[in-house]
Amino acid sequence: MTAAPRAEVAARARTALQRGGLSRPVRLALEDGLISPGATAVFDYGCGRGGDIARLSRAGVQCAGWDPHHRPNGALTPSDVVNLGFVVNVIEDAHERQTTLKRAWSLARSVLLVSARLTSESRDLEGVPFRDGLRTSTGTFQKLYTQDELRSWIDSTLGARSAAAAPGVFFVFRHPALEQEWLLRRVRRSQRLAPISRELLDQHEELLRPLMDFISERGRLPRALELDPSAGIEREFGTLRNAFAVVRRVTGTEPWDRVRDARSQDMLVFLALSRFGKRPRAMDLPDEIRYDVRDLFGSHAAACRQADRLLFAMADQHRVRAAAAASPAGKKMPTALYVHADALGQLPPILRVLDGAARHLIGDIEASTVVKLHLDRPAVSYLEYPDFDAVPHPALRSGYLVTLDRLRCDFRDYSRHANPPILHRKELLLAPSDPRYARFAALTRQEQRAGLYEQPEAIGTQRTWQQLVDARGLRYAGHRLLRTRPDLGPSNAE
């Protein structure tokens, strides 16, 4: 990425943005634990005005950067994490684009973050064709990619396999073990535990809490040195096993059996999804993951056999439909299961693998509120309802459709629709234990008593639903249904 005086070269310096927060790829890497204050060195290749550098530095992250226009004197510094953030899409020369990617990769000791603008996210961008992209009205160049095109270009240019972190954001790992740790963190979910007794907490909370947190996260007892030996657990209880036996006597075995089952399912999903790349051998896994596999399944080979059966079952639509019918969470429709993103961890493993396979192509879509698992074809949709919590019947703003048999990702924008689709019976999308469930369910019961679901053809879109509510003399106050027209007589909506 070098400055060139040719008249045909686009004005790249104008593409540097002033952001109010961290850029998306850097924020994702921070949230995923790839960047740790005090432990990780970051280099921002093509740093623009240096917003990420300033914010990371304030957070205690060692950070440097270079930009041909805004920071030309910065040294190209090998670092743990290198960010090539929205750089390749502003380079109009295809050869220079490849050279820039390779140079950034050569600096990355652990992981390279690569991001670019996607066609689906730039539908309003106006310009005239120029080389393999567009010259905009401000004189800048933009090379727009599809998700699949960006992945293929990165992989072919570097001769390495990239991992989708989000639409338009890919991580390329230098070491397979680091990638496996990152992938497993994405699969794992939290597990609520029953509270231990007040007496035990009063006596030994400081000692036992690290042990319980470790087992909650991994589903097994820690090995030597995986917990700080200076904590004093063994001095007080003799062994970690003895300490955990005390916890189980107080809390009961059921919550810990649930933890072990949940972590076993997490590991099976992780190993099943690893077949989309090159599944790591046991010796290639980080020690802690290898211990997880051994304690939960007996051996790596046994775990992989179970994971393969789970993966192959995903191709059987009959088994997918049966799993959807048995799911403890989700709105069950004839051809789809709709589930809130917060409840994905409650799904049967085969449905989690289906979701994971789609995310392998598209990455994590932060804005997606609802996931639609198609039951009539191998496809997953990620739907954005930004007002899900606040509005009784939120409108659909956008959606990604990931079609697995065609390896295709398609985007659709509903933000300008005059009559967008809306959600009903929101509680069905959640796990019954979700604190929002009771409030949403109470509203649904009110709507049913008011007869609002007697005309199924009128409930699917925002305008027709509002017309129906108005015609019944009703209005919403938060998630309550009230009367607005007393002349219509008594209402059973309240």
Last residue of a domain, one of 110, 144, 174: 174
The arithmetic mean of pLDDT across residues 300-308, rounded, is 96
Q: Is residue 422 part of a domain?
A: no
* pLDDT reading at 197 higher than 90: no
pTM for this entry = 0.83
The per-residue pLDDT for range 409-434, each reduced to its tens digit, is 999 999 989 999 999 999 999 999 99
Asked if residue 21 and residue 163 are part of one domain, the reply reads yes
Asked if residue 253 and residue 224 are part of one domain, the reply reads yes
Asked if residue 157 and residue 65 are part of one domain, the reply reads yes
* pLDDT reading at 490 higher than 80: no
Asked if residue 222 and residue 104 are part of one domain, the reply reads no
Last residue of a domain, one of 174, 198, 214: 174
* pLDDT reading at 63 higher than 50: yes
**For the chain, how big is the Rg over CA atoms in Å?**
26
Task: Report d(CA 151, CA 142) in Å as an integer.
Answer: 17
Task: Report d(CA 490, CA 476) in Å as an integer.
Answer: 17
The secondary structure element, H or E, covering residue 4 is: none
Would you state the pLDDT for residue 193?
46
Query: What is the C-alpha end-to-end distance of the chain, expressed in Å?
Result: 65
Report which of 174, 176, 172 is spatially closest to residue 151, judged by C-alpha positions: 172
Q: Is residue 193 part of a domain?
A: yes
Q: Is residue 62 part of a domain?
A: yes
Under 8 Å between Cβ of 89 and 168: no
Would you state the pLDDT for residue 5?
38
Task: Report d(CA 465, CA 408) in Å as an integer.
Answer: 33
* pLDDT reading at 106 higher than 70: yes
* pLDDT reading at 474 higher than 70: yes
Asked if residue 308 and residue 259 are part of one domain, the reply reads yes
Residue 189: which pLDDT band, with cuts at 50, 70 and 90?
low
Task: Tell me the average pLDDT of the chain.
Answer: 88
Residue 242: which pLDDT band, with cuts at 50, 70 and 90?
confident
Domain that holds residue 86: 12-174
Sign of torsion over alpha carbons 10, 12, 13, 16? positive
The per-residue pLDDT for range 264-296, each reduced to its tens digit, is 999 999 999 999 888 888 988 999 999 999 999
Under 8 Å between Cβ of 100 and 85: no
How buried is residue 323: exposed, middle or buried, by Cβ count under 10 Å (0-12/13-18/19+)?
A: buried
Beta-carbon count within 10 A of 482 CB: 14
* pLDDT reading at 172 higher than 90: yes
Would you state the pLDDT for residue 16?
54
Task: Report d(CA 450, CA 469) in Å as an integer.
Answer: 9
What Cα–Cα distance (Å) separates residue 225 from each residue in 105, 217, 429? 34, 16, 42
Task: Report d(CA 394, CA 443) in Å as an integer.
Answer: 14
Asked if residue 374 and residue 228 are part of one domain, the reply reads no
| Domains contained in the chain, number | 4
Q: Is residue 216 part of a domain?
A: yes
Asked if residue 90 and residue 226 are part of one domain, the reply reads no
* pLDDT reading at 260 higher than 90: yes
Q: Is residue 53 part of a domain?
A: yes
Last residue of a domain, one of 157, 174, 191: 174
* pLDDT reading at 198 higher than 90: no
Asked if residue 209 and residue 159 are part of one domain, the reply reads no
The DSSP letter of residue 275 is G
Beta-carbon count within 10 A of 194 CB: 11
Q: Is residue 4 part of a domain?
A: no
Task: Report d(CA 156, CA 347) in Å as an integer.
Answer: 35
Q: Which amino acid is at 458?
A: A
